[in-house]
Amino acid sequence: MSLSNEQKQDLRHAILEGLVNRHPAALSPRQIQRAVKKEVDFLFEESDVLASLELLKGMAPALVNSTEDPLGGGHYWAATSAGVLHVERNHA
């Protein structure tokens, strides 16, 4: 499934807001996908979530970061301080 540019943008916003609302908790991509499904009106896949997270991580400054489970259980994602401020400033 291919998302439009507008859907990709909406997905990134929903993911960042979802992580900010749960800050400082870190969530798996699957947990993020379940939470964000309630916030958007289109279908998307876990690969779309991962692509969005990588873009948000690559921004300067990074709006999210990831940590690897030391026991090999995958990556967990959380909003950074810059991500929290970004959402707060855009909703003020």
pLDDT tens, residue by residue, 24-40: 999 999 999 999 999 99
Mean local confidence (pLDDT), 59-84: 94
Mean local confidence (pLDDT), 61-88: 94
Residue 71 confidence class, pLDDT cut points 50, 70, 90: confident
Helix, strand, coil percentages for the chain (3-state, nearest 5): 55, 10, 35
Mean local confidence (pLDDT), 62-73: 91
Domains in the chain, please, with CATH? Answer: 5-90 (1.10.10.10)
pLDDT digits (tens, 9 = 90+) for 10-19: 999 999 999 9
72 φ/ψ angles, rounded to the nearest 5 degrees: 85, 20
Looking at residue 86, its amino acid is H
Q: What is the rounded average pLDDT for all residues in the chain? A: 95
pLDDT, position 92: 64
Helix, strand or coil, per DSSP, at residue 15: helix
